[in-house]
Structure 1
Amino acid sequence: MSQLRIGIAGLGGIAQKAYLPILSRAENWALTGAFSPNQQKARVICDSYRIPCFSSLSELTHHCDAVFVHSSTASHFQVVSELLKLGVHVYVDKPLAETLEQSEQLIELAHQQRKMLMVGFNRHFAPLYQQLKQNMAQASSLRMDKHRTNSVGPNDVRFTMLDDYLHVVDTALWLAGQGAKLMSEQLLNNQQKQMLYAEHHFRCGNTIVTTSMHRQAGSQRESIQAVTSGAIFQVDDMRRWQSESAQGIVELPTPGWLTTLEQRGFDGAIRHFVEAVSNQTQPETSGEQAIYAQRIVEQLLQSRSE
């Protein structure tokens, strides 16, 4: 395939903060334009990046081989379906769709259309998390915490579980590398059915996995601790690494040349998708892998309602 032509559907916060700064560099791809239903806002953003602003998804796909979708979760099924039927490869923010049934339908449609469909679980491509995964073979336990300063509501617990807690479950179970079996759970809500705190314990092979999130912890913190045979590893906010063993404590400084978007895996995720489409290889977070954590979260919600 010649130089990959890339478009963007949806120009909200995540597109502006994480994707446009990378995609606009146009290295072994070409950013050929964007579409957003809010045309007035879209034109301002597109003008700032000197790319065309298209008036419809159909018009956008005439100039693209692949599209990055950053629209609302509620719109994912409609937008991704249309793009796949129009014959382009798709990268979409997590979750793949609002319901598990819709996600399964999109995976089947991508298969039928013979198009790549990748879900943007950026933490799979965070360098320190990839380094941690290489040390997980002898892990007895892994704990991942992702807390918020003041983020209770306004949406209900289901939305928060699929929008934010999904990252915790997906990352922890990806690192553990085994089929997960739920052991125990705690999910606290307020009277408005908004999530306050979640903690779940899984068994993945010989590894006990704990996932945790507080929505009003007073700290915007993400950390992972893995206890293995011979060493304890700690990664904080995807940028600080510490390992402790009989030889002492080792701390690795964040390389000065590594940008925040590289640290957090966005750069790696984008490049992985571009390479997968260009080389016609299956992306890591596609198919069943893309909805594995969504299946687990749906089970957690279902077990709570029973």
Structure 2
Amino acid sequence: MKIALIGLGDIAVKAHLPVITQMENVEWVFCTRNPERLQQLAKKYHVKESYTDYRDLAKAGVDAVMIHSATSSHPMIAEYFLKLGVPVFVDKPLADNYQQCEQLYDLAESHQVPLFMGFNRRYIPLYQQFLPGVTGDNQTTPPLLSLRWEKHRHDLPGEARTFIFDDFIHPLDSINVNASISPDDTFVTRQFVQRGGQTLLGRLDVQWQQGETLFHASMNRQNGATMETVSANYQNVSYRFDSFTEGSCWQGNKEERLKLADWTPMLAAKGFHAMAEHWLEVVSAGKQSQSLTQRNLHSHLLAEHLVKQMK
């Protein structure tokens, strides 16, 4: 299998390259506009074939591409390869607006080719082990009663569309386990901050209820520190995780500490290993489940709805 990686910025270097270059039976091709960075990383990871223009990959015979470039370039690059019938992986978000996302999925469907989204939090092993209904189907026993996902940053208010599509989409997608809530059934609160003559979004909270389950996503970018916490509740059982590696379970008025096995690699703990494996399975099959496509689209639909609520 031959897969091209397009865009060799921070996210690719920190989160993807250390994982994917260790996978067997894959020949990697690198592509970035920066020739010095291209040469440096190709040498480091022993990659024999590299390009500075993604359009040259069309004649390289690649079986799939992974797009890690800036959000603004995602639709153009994804469209190019979907039209060639090449499976595409895109780091979240697919685009910074829902209309382009819908158009790209329509294109993928018309060419019968998978369009995969890089939401690593769906694959966090600690949550998959202890939180039924959080990383997959919500129809579980015991039933999930509430899920609260908080992802906060320090001193980083921002323009609303960028705030929501590039960052808030993480907690938003993480609570969107059913991918079926109507945008009009969400309850939205927000805080703004004035800085440098601009009105910037400082905090955003979204809540909804489906059946007996309560969902809440929160992002405060005026927080005292950068942090991420996940809380989930079942019948008389409560969980809280302040990291991807350990947390607590309370049951019968007793606390039990939970943690991953010792020596679990950091990127495995953050879901990147399992996500990469799933991606390769999708490439091999030439298709992905309709439920996955639905969730990808629905999370972007909710993000667009939130942007409109900021006006």
Per-residue CA deviations over 1:205-232 (Å, capped at 9, x if unaligned) read 2111111111121222111111211201
The equivalent of 1:161 in structure 2 is: 164
Are 1:151 and 2:163 matched, yes or no? Answer: no
Q: Which amino acid aligns with 2:175?
A: A
The equivalent of 2:175 in structure 1 is: 172
The equivalent of 2:68 in structure 1 is: 70
TM-score, structure 1 as length reference: 0.90
Per-residue CA deviations over 1:99-152 (Å, capped at 9, x if unaligned) read 211111111111122211101011111112223441664232221111112323
Q: Which amino acid aligns with 2:84?
A: L
Counterparts of 1:27 and 1:209, CA distance in 2: 39
Per-residue CA deviations over 1:44-73 (Å, capped at 9, x if unaligned) read 222222212213223224231011100111
The equivalent of 2:199 in structure 1 is: 193
CA change 1:183–1:100 in 2 (3 A) is closer
**Which deviates more, 219-228 or 126-135?**
126-135
SS of 2:99's equivalent in the other structure is helix
TM-score, structure 2 as length reference: 0.89
Q: Could you list the runs of 4 or more consecutive aligned residues of structure 1 that deviate by over 6 angstroms after TM superposition?
A: none
Q: Is the 2:7–2:69 Cα contact (8 Å) retained in structure 1?
A: yes
Please state how far the C-alpha of 1:179 moved relative to its aligned partner. Answer: 2.8
The equivalent of 1:98 in structure 2 is: 96
Alignment equivalent of 1:11, drawn from 8, 13, 38:
8
Counterparts of 2:37 and 2:259, CA distance in 1: 40
Q: Is the 2:188–2:206 Cα contact (8 Å) retained in structure 1?
A: yes
The equivalent of 1:219 in structure 2 is: 225
CA change 1:163–1:215 in 2 (3 A) is same
SS of 1:299's equivalent in the other structure is helix
SS of 1:115's equivalent in the other structure is coil
The equivalent of 1:109 in structure 2 is: 107
Q: Which amino acid aligns with 2:86?
A: V
Q: Is the 1:273–1:283 Cα contact (8 Å) retained in structure 2?
A: no
Are 1:79 and 2:77 matched, yes or no? Answer: yes
Q: Percent identity?
A: 29
Alignment equivalent of 2:23, drawn from 16, 21, 26:
26
Q: How large is the RMSD of aligned CA atoms in angstroms?
A: 2.0
Q: Is the 2:31–2:54 Cα contact (8 Å) retained in structure 1?
A: yes
The equivalent of 1:141 in structure 2 is: 146
The equivalent of 1:246 in structure 2 is: 252
Counterparts of 1:54 and 1:75, CA distance in 2: 17
